[in-house]
Amino acid sequence: MDKYGILKTYFGYDTFRPGQEQIVDALASGRDVLAVMPTGAGKSICYQTPALLSDGITVVVSPLISLMKDQVASLIKSGVPAAYLNSSLTYEQYMLALSRMQAGRYKIVYVAPERLSSPRFLEVCRSVSVCIVAVDEAHCVSQWGQDFRPDYLKIADFIHSLPRRPVVGAFTATATDRVRDDIRKILDLDSPVTVTTGFDRPNLFFSVLTPEKKTEKLLSLIRERRGRSGIIYCATRRSVEDVCEMLLRAGVPATRYHAGLTAEERQKNQDSFVSDLTPVIVATNAFGMGIDKSNVSFVIHYNMPKNIESYYQEAGRAGRDGEPAECILLYGPHDIITAKFLINNSEPNPDLSEEEQASVRQSELSRLEDMIRYATGTGCLRAFILRYFGEATGDFCGACSNCLESYESEDITEDAKCVLRCVAETQQRYGMSLISEVLKGSSSERISRLDRAGSFGALRTYTLAKIKNIISALLTDGFLTADGEYPVLTLTERSADVLYGGAHVKMKVLGKKKKEPEMKKTSSSQALTGEDSELLTELKRLRARLAREENVPAYIIFTDATLTDMCRKKPRDMTEILRVTGVGERKRDKYGMQFLGVIEKFV
């Protein structure tokens, strides 16, 4: 069977997506590959297809237990013998899987990076023919990436320990030039075929909002998107708890995910979201990597992430089905303080020297500055992201909030002087909220002892939200700083430039709307209406029942895109159903008659 036969038989597709065929051909011919493909571009097909073309075993290195579980479940449903080896297995299950691997029972084996140095695993790999090693989330190998994993440094040693060097494929969704160089060097790729399919996701609409009250704005956004599947990212566990509780009190069906929960609760909540039982999940960045849920229609960041790489990877979990989706960042003054605190107080990496650790921290602070510029800038948001990753693009996309709104740059120098004087007068002992109240001239009891400050009420005509935005602009430009778990505002060397040196301070303000949003669509199809919409509902109901019976996420049976294509093509028999995108022979044989039975009632 050739590559096209494998693509159709096992995965149900008639053609490859952009970049996939080039990668498949390279790996199948024995060439190493470095592939940079955005979330939803179909990276797994790129190594699964050559794995089925080869005679040996393909080892896929992944840090994501949830990804392994779902990928293996999907492969088995498609008729591909596969397994995973990670900490979720009992000792007996792990040894049984190794025994079957040694007996040649599997074509594809997913493995966590820490398993690569296991003596028994190495023994098995040396006794079989490992033809391909695919490294997923390859940016984890670089300390300059957003998610460095020391265990990834073991991959090259593992490859070199095998009797015959396999072909190596490295895959990532987000990588700057520096990280790509690290991937080539650390994984010791041999003259790799480098494929970058482009970072743009045209179906995603990007927006940055700066609401006075985040919780109220978030609740409004969620209510406007009632019934749709979405992820809300928060910077801390506490924020996750608070936001999730707020949504539940407001009657929004939501669940939560963070590292402070037990493994059992995390899995239960994740399964509830993936299976569409709960449409909204509130989570830290511990959630989402490897979650192949295609119908996420919005991702809202309640807090600004620490870098562009993390933001684009997390936001990119929306719209994997190619349908229009939204990526919304709720930016607030405290986000900078929180991000700096998380960076400066992160656990030291025991595999790095103090000097290296300091260098990494400085790199993280530098990348935070890029993230701040994204959140506070007035230019095209899509263009900012694409240029960050080295991709040339125009200055107007027509599908982001900055392109649709008119922003002006307001000179706030005199207001900034008031803020800086207030910080100085109060001896640099207070945080943003209290300083804002002093400048507002608040009569609250907690600042009664500060009402004699010369700057008391200096900005009384402004709202507290605007005063905080002015302080945020000073933090962004380095005229103020705020560090520590309970951050207080302190002056910097640059403060004097504003107070005495004639430096000007400017702030982004909203002007008139240019035009109404026009979200780009990559799907050539229009929304289903009438009986087709009713049919889709019935097909989803059947899919949900099958998923419950087999204890797998619904998309493992068929994706939303596949069910939508069924509604349009309305196949009549087992031959015609193979023409539906995403229906391969194995799934046709297992599920075809049941779905045809539902379709027949509507034809």
Let me know: does 405 contact 514? Beta carbons within 8 Å.
Answer: yes
Q: Which residues pair with 84 in a beta bridge?
A: 110
Q: So what's the pLDDT on residue 517? A: 46
Residue found under tokens 């090693």: 133
Tell me the CA end-to-end span of the chain in Å, nearest whole number: 35
Q: Coil, strand, or helix at residue 194?
A: strand
User: Phi/psi of residue 284, each to 5°?
Assistant: -85, 180
Q: Pinpoint the residues of the chain covered by CATH 1.10.10.10.
A: 413-504
Compute the distance between CA of residue 570 and CA of residue 544 in angstroms, rounded to an integer. Answer: 20
Report which residue type is found at 92. E
Instruction: Decide if domain 413-504 falls under CATH 2.30.30.830.
Output: no
Let me know: does 258 contact 286? Beta carbons within 8 Å.
Answer: yes
Residue found under tokens 């002007």: 511
Q: Which residues pair with 299 in a beta bridge?
A: 231, 327
Instruction: Decide if domain 530-600 falls under CATH 1.10.150.80.
Output: yes
Q: Which CATH number is 204-406 given?
A: 3.40.50.300
Q: So what's the pLDDT on residue 199? A: 83
With 0-12 / 13-18 / 19 or more C-beta atoms within 10 angstroms meaning exposed / middle / buried, residue 460 is: exposed
Q: So what's the pLDDT on residue 87? A: 85
**Token output for 338:** 């929180």
Let me know: does 187 contact 181? Beta carbons within 8 Å.
Answer: no
Compute the distance between CA of residue 341 and CA of residue 338 in angstroms, rounded to an integer. Answer: 5
Of 509, 331, 332, 513, nearest to 407 by C-alpha is 509
For strands 296-301 and 229-233, give the pairing: parallel
Q: What is the mean pLDDT, run by run of 10 residues, along the chain of 603 residues?
A: 92 90 96 89 92 94 81 90 91 94 95 91 95 93 76 92 96 85 94 90 92 92 92 94 96 93 88 87 77 84 93 89 90 85 79 78 86 87 90 88 80 94 91 90 77 84 88 85 77 92 84 50 54 90 90 84 91 94 91 95 84
Superfamily per CATH, domain 3-196: P-loop containing nucleotide triphosphate hydrolases (3.40.50.300)
Residue found under tokens 């803020």: 419
Task: Tell me the whole-structure pTM to 2 decimals.
Answer: 0.73
Report which residue type is found at 386. L
What count of residues does the chain have? Answer: 603
Residue found under tokens 């990753």: 389
68-to-22, 53, 152, 216 alpha-carbon distances in Å = 25, 21, 16, 38
Report which residue type is found at 380. C
Cβ count within 10 A of residue 454: 11
Q: Which helix (H) or strand (E) holds 585?
A: helix 585-600
Q: In this predicted model, what pLDDT tens digit does every residue of 132-143 receive, in sequence order?
A: 999 998 998 987
Let me know: does 37 contact 197? Beta carbons within 8 Å.
Answer: yes
Q: So what's the pLDDT on residue 525? A: 39
Region for residue 188 given its phi and psi (left: phi exceeds 0; alpha: psi -120 to 50; beta: otherwise):
left
For strands 488-491 and 480-483, give the pairing: antiparallel
Compute the distance between CA of residue 430 and CA of residue 436 in angstroms, rounded to an integer. Answer: 10
Of 495, 474, 486, 467, nearest to 429 by C-alpha is 486
Q: Which residues pair with 209 in a beta bridge?
A: 330
DSSP state, 55? S
Catalogue the E-assigned strands of 10-147: 33-36, 57-61, 82-85, 108-111, 130-135
Compute the distance between CA of residue 35 and CA of residue 122 in angstroms, rounded to an integer. Answer: 26
Helices of type H across 136-176: 154-161
Let me know: does 39 contact 548? Beta carbons within 8 Å.
Answer: no
Q: Pinpoint the residues of the chain covered by CATH 3.40.50.300.
A: 3-196, 204-406
Cβ count within 10 A of residue 515: 10
Sign of the C-alpha dihedral, residues 17, 21, 27, 32? negative
Helices 3-11 and 20-28, axial angle in degrees (round to 10): 120
Let me know: does 142 contact 108? Beta carbons within 8 Å.
Answer: no
